[in-house]
Amino acid sequence: MKKALLIIVFLFSATIGTVSAHAGHDSREASVLVNGVRLNSGANHFASGKLFVSLDAFAYLFGKDAAVAADNRTAVFNGVTLKEIRLYKGEPTAPIRDLAAAIGAQQVSWNEENQEAYVLALPAGSIQLTPVVPAMGEHWGNLQDLPTGPIYGVYEGKLVFIEYMIAQEDFIKGTSHVNLSGMKGVPSPAVIQTDIEFQEHGHEGFEIPHYDIHAYFITDEEQQQIK
């Protein structure tokens, strides 16, 4: 499947969305996903119009620790001081917006129907490379990793695939590609399906015969709905 706009790079500033609730709904609980991985904690809740998330559960997803001050008012996470810590059900919590910013997340979105927040947190240096490609989504990645990848597919703020592009000549010569960065340092959902497509003439952005290898975190039916 061709990705004609693969080499178009859009300069933008990554924004962290604000997740809020009406004051009358304070203390209601919410579901939280990070890259599609569920953050399991009964401490996730709304207070003062903000979504607070379990600090320990969030840090655990990234393999990190958080240090809470003795007065339980501040904490240090990933080298960043969080200034709005709130104890809830005995757990320290922090605004999801602050936690996302501390790990350099690209986006936080909110699904009102499901009462669910979604944090998109790609590896450091990832930027948007293309707009939405049908049946795939936006392509994100680190320019230093191209053309091999990893390349990340994103649709409506959610992670949908990880991709590698391997030259046909590499297979012929027996060239190995080892220790590719993949999802290092960020939560990774389960792979649902994989596509390996041969691009006989290549495509814009990698104009030699090669294989596009997509590992999808969504079903084929969901993939085909991406327009």
CATH of residue 174: 3.30.200.270
Do 97 and 148 share a domain, yes or no? no
Which has the closest alpha carbon to 96: 133, 121, 126, 63?
121
Residue 96 placed within a domain: yes
Q: What's the domain count of the chain?
A: 2
Same domain, 159 and 183: yes
Residue 10 maps to a domain? no
Domain span including residue 37: 26-120
Judgement on whether residues 192 and 131 belong to the same structural domain of the protein: yes
Q: Are residues 31 and 102 in the same domain?
A: yes
* Inside any domain, residue 9: no
pLDDT at 117 exceeding the cut of 50: yes
Residues 131 and 98 in one domain: no
- Kindly state whether residue 157 falls inside one of the protein's structural domains: yes
Domain check: are 144 and 116 in the same one? no
Q: What mean pLDDT do residues 43-53 have?
A: 94
Q: What is the DSSP string of 106-140?
A: SEEEEETTTTEEEEE-PPTT-EE-SSPBTTTBEEE
Give yes or no for a contact between 117 and 33, defined as CB atoms under 8 angstroms apart: yes
- What's the average model confidence in pLDDT over 76-93? 96
List helix spans (H) across the chain: 55-61, 96-102, 168-173, 220-224
Asked, for residue 144, whether it belongs to a domain, the answer is: yes
Do 196 and 151 lie in one domain? The reply is yes
Residue 140 domain flag: yes
pTM of full prediction above 0.85: yes
CA-CA distance, 99 to 118, in Å (whole number)?
12
- Within a domain: 105: yes
pLDDT tens digits along 128-169: 999 999 999 999 999 999 999 999 999 999 999 999 999 999
Provide Rg for the chain, Cα atoms.
19
Tell me the sheet residues that pair with 54: 93
Look at residue 28 in the predicted model and tell me its pLDDT: 79
